[in-house]
A and B are shown apart, each in its own frame.
Chain A
Amino acid sequence: EAEVAQSPRYKITEKSQAVAFWCDPISGHATLYWYRQILGQGPELLVQFQDESVVDDSQLPKDRFSAERLKGVDSTLKIQPAELGDSAMYLCASSHTGGRTEAFFGQGTRLTVV
């Protein structure tokens, strides 16, 4: 069964360092989402791609976060510099056509900033 792949699963980084997460969506899925989930809360949408274009990044802290999806396939989310408050689970998801269809989630990357 096709899955959304994310790496790394766990990441510990020091404050002010740069950190990057990678996501490979299910083949053929045009929509890719990055979410941030703080423990005990629901996922918060950071950025949504349709193919290689950003369609929503209204909640992305653009002073330190960046995301790209070159060639409209896999995607990278970067934080530079990392802050203590960035400690969270970062989830990637993909779907055929935006929110019109179900989203498939990866296992996430657990980030701890020390």
Chain B
Amino acid sequence: SQQGEEDPQALSIQEGENATMNCSYKTSINNLQWYRQNSGRGLVHLILIRSNEREKHSGRLRVTLDTSKKSSSLLITASRAADTASYFCATSQGGSEKLVFGKGMKLTVNP
């Protein structure tokens, strides 16, 4: 079963523009993580935000978390063609801290 749901499911932008992806989830979480996946490859971790944090930055990435709305957003600023990939949010849940992924969102950055 999948927990998170990314929105939009696909986004196409021009290089240099900002890209915003949203994630909604259903249960209480320990933390929320964002991953990137290039076509046919494994996933790469981008950023982790804990349930008691509201905002976090890493380079061109900014993530926010609203536990009252059970939602998170990932902002990629000044996008590059190399940012073209699928992006997934994942929530760490329960005592076993299992990592449950959303359905993903496909970002295309046009040069």
Contact = CB atoms under 8 A, between A and B. Distances in A.
Co-complex (A, B): yes
Interface of A: 4, 31, 33, 35, 41-45, 48, 50, 55-56, 59, 89, 91, 93, 95, 97-108, 110
A106 B97 contact: no
B interface bracket (residues with beta carbon within 8 Å of A): 20 to 34
Contacts, number: 81
Interface of B: 1-2, 4, 30-31, 33, 35, 40-45, 48, 88, 90-93, 96-104
Main secondary structure of the interface of B (DSSP, over half): strand
18 contacts: A33-B99, A41-B104, A42-B88, A42-B102, A42-B104, A43-B101, A44-B2, A44-B101, A48-B99, A89-B40, A91-B43, A93-B99, A98-B99, A99-B90, A101-B48, A107-B42, A108-B41, A108-B42
